[in-house]
């Protein structure tokens, strides 16, 4: 009988043998690891199975992930039925309303946490449970850098509520009702009543905000099982998707189907088509740029704009349309949308099932009559939801969500009313002394990646109260910040380079004329180059700094919106580069 040396080199780096802790003796490292995990009651038979890690983002601070305990149960069932061993582990969880100063400030930290925990702990594949806006992009970024087989499980959307027999849901209706309250159209009692109805269950926002956008994008990228984007959080369909996801993760581990084979240039092109066709959140383009950057790929804004000219908005969901996510699910979900978009898609792109997007569409079968996803001949909006603007005010590009803008304001020239930063805006926006008319253009500076910092969703500048009470519902707004995907209006965002690093936006003054032309894709400051140079020389800008901690890392390494607001050192140098280790 041959005796295996306990110190034999690790020839099968899978399951619990992956990434052994360094004690200088692999045999001892494995022996010790098994001794500890057996303290939790595991048997050798269990420990010999493929290990499926589960990034568990359940948190009392994140009601959008409030169904994670049920998802975990279904997911583990799926993993064990398929012969795997589920091992869940905690990571950072970010909720939009519970993240100070803004969730975007923490997205990269969550992506680093996800990447490092995937690589530090033994697992053959990982399931990423995400839902609320920044969680899915953070997980896809981290998993892309980690490079092992990975699959996304979406938590799912919340149910809609009812306020005085009107159907409501977060968060487009949150903004609409708050606008009514500001305009003094509803009283304290009614705003308090509607507060109870806007979020009718756990789950993510029920309109086409960033969470729903990223769920649809994850499926378009091939990163979820088919149909994984749309089931609401509290439904049986969502639990079945979780069970299926667990089984698929085991298959991926066995096949060695790594994430770089799924997140290809073709997959990103499909995701951009879907972003445009769903009237998706403007945040989606930032997140796509960041995920692609982790694989050494670029998202070109000019390409996005070109695609937008022949990709109509087909999905009739708020804020561009009228329905909610649960209606999209009942209408067949992503399969219904992808069937319409089929001529524009890269059908050979691989998905987590090991089959291509085209094969999955064939398997999904024929569609059925419904009214939520429109046809290419009769779209919700004739072009894609997002248009890319250029001009001397934004040499690195800016965007506008044209599908939720006022058509009468999309060709507009007006006088700038300038706010220097978010605090200045809060101080003066409701002042009777504010010199503003409905024809002016509101400009907000210093809410870009470094300016705020973290590029908060403050680009949805509220209508000044004196105009709101006159019944003004929209006004052109420009900033270097972002806005929630649930917001609407004629709002120019992501002005690049941002004002905090000396972009032209920093030098706009009250009374300057600005021209917006969405048809010509133009955003221009009607001030001469000589005058702009004079202003720059008079007031050179010093970018913000911090003495220590995460803020220092953030301010020193964060990139601009066109690069996804990722940290520069996390981007892969070239396509195909493995994780930087
Ligand atoms: Fe979590 Fe809207 S707040 S998805």
pLDDT score recorded for residue 13: 83
Ligand 1 atom nearest the C-alpha of 171 is 2
Q: Which residue has the tokens 């169904």?
A: 67
Ligand 1 centroid from CA 577, angstroms = 33
> Is 95 a pocket residue for ligand 1 (Cβ < 6 Å)?
yes
Q: Give the span between the Cα atoms of 125 and 147, in whole angstroms.
A: 10
Beta sheet of 150-154, edge-to-edge order? 85-90, 51-56, 125-130, 150-154
> Is 425 a pocket residue for ligand 1 (Cβ < 6 Å)?
no
Longest dimension (CA), the chain: 93
Q: Give the span between the Cα atoms of 522 and 530, in whole angstroms.
A: 20
Q: Give the span between the Cα atoms of 483 and 495, in whole angstroms.
A: 12
Ligand 1 centroid from CA 397, angstroms = 27
> Is 72 a pocket residue for ligand 1 (Cβ < 6 Å)?
no
Identify which of 58, 59, 65, 95 to mutate to test ligand 1's pocket (most ligand atoms within 8 A of the CB): 95
pLDDT score recorded for residue 488: 84
Ligand 1 centroid from CA 329, angstroms = 18
Identify which of 211, 216, 284 to mutate to test ligand 1's pocket (most ligand atoms within 8 A of the CB): 211
Query: pLDDT tens-digit profile of 184-197?
Result: 999 999 999 999 99
Q: How far is CA 488 from CA 282, 418, 436, 483, 533, in A?
A: 11, 21, 21, 9, 34
Ligand 1 centroid from CA 509, angstroms = 35
**Residues near 340 by beta carbon (within 8 Å), at least 6 away in sequence:** 277, 314, 373, 374, 375, 376
> Is 136 a pocket residue for ligand 1 (Cβ < 6 Å)?
no
Q: Check: CB of residue 30 under 8 Å from CB of residue 17.
A: yes
**Residues near 461 by beta carbon (within 8 Å), at least 6 away in sequence:** 419, 425, 429, 442, 444, 477, 479, 491
pTM for the structure as a whole: 0.95
The full length of the chain comes to 581
Identify which of 66, 132, 155 to mutate to test ligand 1's pocket (most ligand atoms within 8 A of the CB): 132
Ligand 1 centroid from CA 438, angstroms = 31
Q: How far is CA 241 from CA 152, 228, 246, 292, 330, in A?
A: 11, 6, 9, 26, 15
Supply 501's token pair: 């690093």
Ligand 1 atom nearest the C-alpha of 486 is 2
> Is 325 a pocket residue for ligand 1 (Cβ < 6 Å)?
no
Ligand 1 atom nearest the C-alpha of 131 is 4
Residue nearest to atom 3 of ligand 1 (CA): 96
Identify which of 67, 133, 482 to mutate to test ligand 1's pocket (most ligand atoms within 8 A of the CB): 133
Q: Give the span between the Cα atoms of 459 and 104, in whole angstroms.
A: 14
pLDDT score recorded for residue 576: 66
Ligand 1 centroid from CA 171, angstroms = 8
Ligand 1 centroid from CA 485, angstroms = 10
Ligand 1 atom nearest the C-alpha of 97 is 3
> Is 107 a pocket residue for ligand 1 (Cβ < 6 Å)?
no
Q: Check: CB of residue 541 under 8 Å from CB of residue 502.
A: yes
Ligand 1 atom nearest the C-alpha of 63 is 1
Ligand 1 centroid from CA 563, angstroms = 24
Ligand 1 centroid from CA 290, angstroms = 20
CATH of domain 386-538: 3.50.30.80
Q: Say if residue 243 is preceded by a cis peptide, omega within 30 of 0.
A: no
Q: Check: CB of residue 230 under 8 Å from CB of residue 329.
A: yes
Q: Check: CB of residue 566 under 8 Å from CB of residue 141.
A: yes
> Is 316 a pocket residue for ligand 1 (Cβ < 6 Å)?
no
Residue nearest to atom 2 of ligand 1 (CA): 205
Ligand 1 atom nearest the C-alpha of 210 is 4
Ligand 1 centroid from CA 312, angstroms = 26
Query: pLDDT tens-digit profile of 71-117?
Result: 999 999 999 999 999 999 999 999 999 999 999 999 999 999 999 99
pLDDT score recorded for residue 8: 46
> Is 457 a pocket residue for ligand 1 (Cβ < 6 Å)?
no
Residue nearest to atom 1 of ligand 1 (CA): 132
pLDDT score recorded for residue 320: 80
Q: Give the span between the Cα atoms of 299 and 536, in whole angstroms.
A: 31
Residues of the chain with pLDDT under 70: 1-12, 576-581
Supply 154's token pair: 């979406």
pLDDT score recorded for residue 577: 66
> Is 209 a pocket residue for ligand 1 (Cβ < 6 Å)?
yes
> Is 374 a pocket residue for ligand 1 (Cβ < 6 Å)?
no
> Is 401 a pocket residue for ligand 1 (Cβ < 6 Å)?
no
> Is 204 a pocket residue for ligand 1 (Cβ < 6 Å)?
yes
Q: Give the span between the Cα atoms of 261 and 123, in whole angstroms.
A: 18
Domain coordinates in residue numbering, the chain: 1-43, 168-195, 386-538
Ligand 1 atom nearest the C-alpha of 212 is 4
Q: Give the span between the Cα atoms of 320 and 463, in whole angstroms.
A: 19
> Is 273 a pocket residue for ligand 1 (Cβ < 6 Å)?
no
């Amino acid at each position: 009988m041959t005796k295996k040396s306990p110190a034999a080199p690790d020839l099968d780096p899978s399951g619990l043998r992956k990434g052994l802790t360094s004690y200088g003796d692999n045999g001892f490292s494995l022996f010790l690891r098994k001794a500890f995990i057996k303290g939790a009651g595991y048997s050798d038979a269990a420990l010999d199975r493929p290990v499926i890690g589960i990034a568990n983002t359940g948190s009392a601070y994140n009601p959008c992930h409030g169904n994670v305990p049920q998802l975990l149960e279904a997911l583990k069932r799926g993993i064990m039925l398929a012969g795997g061993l589920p091992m869940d582990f905690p990571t950072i969880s970010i909720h939009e309303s519970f993240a100070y100063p803004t969730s975007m400030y923490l997205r990269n930290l969550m992506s680093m946490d996800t990447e490092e925990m995937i690589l530090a702990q033994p697992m053959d594949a990982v399931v990423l449970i995400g839902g609320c806006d920044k969680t899915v992009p953070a997980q896809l970024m981290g998993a892309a850098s980690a490079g092992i087989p990975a699959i996304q499980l979406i938590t799912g959307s919340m149910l809609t509520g009812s306020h005085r027999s009107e159907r409501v849901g977060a968060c487009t209706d949150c903004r609409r009702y708050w606008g009514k309250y500001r305009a003094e159209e509803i009283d304290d009692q009614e705003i308090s009543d509607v507060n109870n109805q806007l979020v009718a269950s756990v789950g993510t926002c029920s309109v086409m905000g960033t969470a729903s956008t990223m769920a649809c994008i994850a499926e378009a990228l091939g990163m979820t099982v088919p149909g994984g984007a749309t089931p609401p959080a509290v439904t049986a369909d969502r639990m079945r998707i979780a069970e299926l996801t667990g089984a698929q993760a085991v298959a991926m581990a066995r096949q060695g189907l790594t994430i770089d084979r799924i997140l290809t240039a073709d997959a990103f092109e499909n995701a951009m088509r879907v972003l445009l066709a769903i009237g998706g959140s403007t945040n989606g383009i930032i997140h796509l740029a960041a995920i692609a950057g982790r694989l050494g790929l670029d998202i070109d804004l000019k390409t996005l704009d070109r695609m937008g000219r022949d990709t109509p908005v087909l999905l009739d969901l708020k804020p561009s349309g009228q329905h909610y996510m649960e209606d999209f699910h009942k209408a067949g979900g992503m399969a219904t949308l992808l069937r319409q978009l089929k001529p524009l898609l890269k059908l050979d792109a691989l998905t987590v099932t090991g089959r291509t997007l085209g094969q999955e569409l064939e398997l999904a079968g024929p569609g059925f009559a419904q009214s939520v996803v429109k046809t290419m001949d009769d779209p919700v909006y004739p072009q894609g939801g997002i248009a890319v603007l250029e001009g001397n005010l934004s040499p690195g590009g800016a965007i506008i969500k044209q599908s939720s803008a006022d058509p009468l304001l999309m060709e507009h020239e007006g006088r700038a009313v300038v706010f220097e930063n978010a605090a200045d805006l809060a101080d003066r926006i409701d002042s009777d002394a504010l010199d503003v008319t409905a024809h002016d253009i509101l400009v907000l500076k210093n809410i870009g990646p470094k300016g705020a910092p973290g590029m908060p969703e403050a680009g949805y500048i509220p209508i000044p109260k004196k105009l709101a009470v006159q019944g003004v519902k929209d006004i052109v707004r420009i900033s270097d910040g972002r806005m929630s995907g649930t917001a609407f209006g004629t709002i120019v965002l992501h002005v690049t380079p941002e004002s905090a690093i000396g972009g032209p936006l920093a030098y706009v003054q009250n009374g300057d004329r600005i021209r917006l032309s969405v048809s010509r894709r133009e955003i221009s400051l009607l001030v001469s180059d000589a005058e702009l140079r004079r202003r720059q020389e008079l007031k050179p800008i010093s970018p913000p700094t911090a003495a220590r901690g995460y803020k220092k890392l953030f301010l020193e390494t964060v990139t601009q919106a066109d690069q996804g607001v990722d940290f520069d050192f996390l981007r892969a140098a070239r396509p195909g580069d493995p994780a930087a280790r």
